[in-house]
Amino acid sequence: MKHILAYILLILLLSCLNTVMSGQTFSKTYNFNDGIDAGFKVFKHNDNYFVQFWGENKDYSDPSVIHVTNYMGFLRTDLEGNLITSKIYDSLICYKTMWLKGDKLLMAGNKSTKPDFEKKIYLLTTGYDGEIQDEKKLEFNTGNHRVSDSGRDQNKNYYLTDRVIYYGDNNKEKLYFNDTILLHKWDSTLNYKKTIMVPFLQPITYGVNTAVHNDNYFVSSIMYFDTIKGSGSSTRTAVVAYDSTGQLLWQYNPLKNRITGGTNVVTETAGFKDSSTAVLMSYDYLGNTWQQVIKFNNKGEKLWEYDDKPEHPFYYYTYFSIFKTKDDGVILCGENSFFDFDPDWDKASAIIAKLDKNGNLQWRRYIWDHNVQARRCGFINGMELDNGNLIITGTLVDSAGFAQFDTRVWLLLLDSVGCYNPGCGKFDSITATQNIVLVGKDMLKLSPNPAHDYVRVSWNNTPTPAERLLVYDLKGRTVAEKTVHDRSGSIELSVTDLPAGTYLVKIQGNKWESPPEKMVRQK
């Protein structure tokens, strides 16, 4: 009997421990190039989180010309959000185009530099450190090509959605009204297979998203009318299904007249048990926003429809993405621009909501950073983890740089019901002190490296005096720490007590930390 009771108590203890562990959350922000940065895609693999981000820098040195530089990059963190490595690819433009291929990363996009601008699509294969191992490209003689989406099908083929714009003259002053969508396909070994053309219903298309299921393509997009004539605009949101040859299977295109703000359409199909398609449509009409999620079967018939309007006249929220959950429900991610936020006045918040498999709202959360007077912050993409928790990425804008500056990539781990603080209500705030990781800042130098008895760590150009030097292993465990106090300086660190292996070194100051530098300790 004692053995049975002990066994039961052990199971209960392990269950409680698992609940505590799965309930742990974190919030991290990463500042890359002092410009506009936004996390666009996130996934988990091999005890790492990978975040793809987009960035933009503006050079105002010449008042007559504002020079804009776009870039794409990714960061890899441990399971607590501590940065392990990052990489920036200058002049590459992308949107949610990062996949995993074995233990390699795949990224795709256009280059914003001449003569490649929108004439070539690049497909990059990299290692976990971001170093490019292979580069493939598609070249075009006509049209301006803009990569807008990517994914994989059930046969592990890779595909890209390419929206093509044709101009009526060489000066690009007149548009042809025949925007086209191309679907490029590679096999599982990245051998190019084919491109199919799917002429869309009406011009002018943008916001194109695609999903592939049972070798059929589901494309969602937005179409504007009369914008060239200057007589205002009418907007049609559409969902269209094609077979593998580009033949039309079904379409859904309700007309929405004179939508003056942004309209977002997102498609999600892969993995639904009933081969259905869930589509998110976010509308903004003269400052009045509302959301609509529709689920179709494989014949294009509605299974259910969910209409979501803000519950307060001063709430202006927009959902940016949709992804499925293991129970065939969906998670909606977006941002809410509060101008009269009840719990914390004049704060923006991110928004996240869950619908069950029948389209019923289960919960909705508004989450904001209590330490930052954010005027914009939002969730752009995420995924459900095996334990039901949610890993989310997005953007956080400090009010100090409200117009265009000091925008950071945001990475949050929430629990299975969308809470940062366990048991939260509708409103949830992040109160823990956060360190902004200053990625791309060449702060640290280690010498010698590899090290045997000691390593000298030098740093410079820190925003405030450095306060701590930390050494941790590749699992994120701190193995050495020293107190420092200097903007520029160096310190000698003994490593004789460390086992041989690879470590990460970083410095921290008041609300910031450097990106880590690798250190190898030899016997």
pLDDT digits (tens, 9 = 90+) for 53-67: 988 877 666 666 666
d(CA 461, CA 488): 6
Average pLDDT over residues 465-494: 87
**Final residue of a domain: which of 437, 460, 491?**
437
Secondary element (H or E) of residue 17 = helix 2-23
Average pLDDT over residues 297-318: 80
Do 184 and 119 fall into the same domain? yes
Residue 3 lies in a domain: no
pLDDT level of residue 26 (50, 70, 90 thresholds): very high
Do 428 and 448 fall into the same domain? no
Residue 2 lies in a domain: no
Which is more confident, 15 or 459?
Answer: 459
Do 423 and 452 fall into the same domain? no
User: Which range, of 236-240, 379-383, 424-428, 483-487, averages the lowest pLDDT?
Assistant: 236-240
User: Which range, of 5-9, 222-226, 230-234, averages the lowest pLDDT?
Assistant: 5-9
Do 211 and 259 fall into the same domain? yes
Q: Output the pLDDT for position 151.
A: 84
Residue 20 lies in a domain: no
Q: Output the pLDDT for position 221.
A: 76
Q: Output the pLDDT for position 241.
A: 86
Rounded to the nearest integer, the mean pLDDT of the chain is 79
d(CA 94, CA 73): 9
Do 53 and 149 fall into the same domain? yes
| Integer angstrom CA distances of residue 519 from 276, 468, 472, 493, 505 | 50, 17, 10, 12, 7
Q: What is the pLDDT of residues 488-497, one digit of tens each?
A: 888 899 999 9
Q: What is the pLDDT of residues 81-104, one digit of tens each?
A: 999 888 888 878 777 788 888 888
Residue 264 lies in a domain: yes
pLDDT level of residue 338 (50, 70, 90 thresholds): low
Average pLDDT over residues 431-456: 86
How many helices (H) and strands (E) in the chain?
Answer: 1, 40
Average pLDDT over residues 434-445: 83
d(CA 271, CA 276): 9
**251, pLDDT greater than 50:** yes
Do 126 and 157 fall into the same domain? yes
DSSP 227: T
Max mean pLDDT range (12-26, 32-46, 193-207): 32-46
Residue 19 lies in a domain: no
Residue 312 lies in a domain: yes
User: Which range, of 309-313, 333-337, 477-481, 509-513, averages the lowest pLDDT?
Assistant: 309-313
Q: Which two tokens stand for residue 384?
A: 């459900």
Do 350 and 213 fall into the same domain? yes
Range of the domain at 59: 25-437
CB-CB contact of 495 with 453 (8 Å): yes
Do 428 and 489 fall into the same domain? no
d(CA 96, CA 94): 7
Question: Which value, in Å, is the radius of gyration of the alpha carbons in the chain?
Answer: 24
Do 490 and 395 fall into the same domain? no
CB-CB contact of 30 with 83 (8 Å): yes
Average pLDDT over residues 311-327: 81
pLDDT level of residue 225 (50, 70, 90 thresholds): low
List of residues 6+ apart from 13 with CB closer than 8 A: none
Query: What's the predicted TM-score (pTM) here?
Result: 0.85
User: Which range, of 39-43, 228-232, 453-457, 490-494, averages the lowest pLDDT?
Assistant: 228-232
Do 181 and 325 fall into the same domain? yes
**Final residue of a domain: which of 437, 457, 490?**
437
- CATH number of the domain enclosing 484: 2.60.40.3080
- CATH number of the domain enclosing 307: 2.130.10.10
Average pLDDT over residues 292-311: 84
Q: Output the pLDDT for position 498.
A: 92
Do 363 and 500 fall into the same domain? no
Count of structural domains within the chain: 2
**Final residue of a domain: which of 437, 455, 471?**
437
CB-CB contact of 192 with 136 (8 Å): yes
Q: Output the pLDDT for position 435.
A: 83
User: Which range, of 37-46, 159-168, 181-190, 459-468, averages the lowest pLDDT?
Assistant: 159-168
In which residue are the tokens 């390699």 written?
104
CB-CB contact of 460 with 417 (8 Å): no
d(CA 364, CA 501): 45
Do 364 and 450 fall into the same domain? no
